[in-house]
Amino acid sequence: MSTSIKTATELVEHSRLKDKMSSTAGPIYDDLRQRILSLDLPPGTHLLRNQLAAEYRVSQTPLRDALQRLQRDDLVQILPQSSTSVTRINIPKIHEAYFLRVALETEVVRHLASHDASELVGRARSVIDLQRAIAKEPGQLRLFQEIDELFHQMLFEAAGHRSLHLLIRSQSGHLDRVRRLQIHSEMKIASILAGHDDILKAIETSDEAAAMTALRDHLRKSPQWLDDIRAGHEDYFE
C-alpha cells in the first residue's frame, strides 16, 4: 500500500469516527452504509438478517437498530414480517439532494470567504494534494471520491455547520450511489481538482461572489448526465 493510500484511508476513517453512534449498532450501520453507497451491496439486494447477525457477531437488536437508521436514510426498505432489501435509486430524490447541497454549500463558502479562513485553507490544500496523489493510483476511485467528500465536509466544519453536512449526507444516499456509477476520465478528475482549487482560492482571497460561482460550477451537472448513467444500469433504478 502506497503512502498516499494509507494516509487517505486514515483520514477517511478518522472523519467517520466523529459520526459513529455510541451503541453497538453504530459500527454496523456505518459498515452497511458504506457497502451500500459503494455498491458492494447493489440496489435490490435482499438482506438476510440472520446472516448479517452472524457476520457482525451481534444479536438481532443492534442489527435491527442499524437497519432502521438505514431505512430513515432511505437506503433500505423493511417490510414487516417479510424481507429487507437495498432500495433502488430514485431520480426525484437525486434532484432533491442536489438542490439541498447546492443551496446550503453555496452559503457555506460565502460565509467562509467573508471571514478569516486561513487555517482551513492550509488543511484543505493538503487534502487536495492528497486527492491529486490518489488520482494517480490505479483502482482507487472509491477512495478518491471519499477524499472528495472529505474536502466538502471540511468546508462545513470550518463554517461551524457540521450538522448541516450530516443532514446533506443523510439525504444523499441516492445521489452518492449514482456518483459511484460515473466513469471518471482523466479530464473529469482534473476538473474536480481544479474546482476545489478555485473554491479555495476564492475563499483565501475573500471573494464571496467568486466562491459562490466556483462552488456552483463545481457541482453543476450536464443536463444528460443522469440519463446516460441510467441507460447503462436500468436495473439499479426505480
What is the reported pLDDT for 139?
A: 82
Q: What is the pLDDT of residues 143-186, one digit of tens each?
A: 888 899 899 999 999 999 999 999 998 999 999 999 888 867 78
| CATH annotation of 91-236 | 1.20.120.530
CA dist list (Å): 224 to 125, 220, 221, 230: 32, 12, 8, 10
Q: What is the pLDDT of residues 54-103, one digit of tens each?
A: 999 999 999 999 999 999 999 999 988 778 999 999 999 999 999 999 99
The answer, yes or no, to whether residue 17 has pLDDT greater than 80, is: no
Domain-wise residue ranges, the chain: 20-86, 91-236
**pTM for this entry:** 0.84
Residue found by looking up cell 442499524 in the block: 66
Q: Confirm whether 20-86 and 91-236 share one CATH topology.
A: no
Residue 9 pLDDT class (50, 70, 90 cuts): low
Whether domain 20-86 has CATH 1.10.10.10: yes
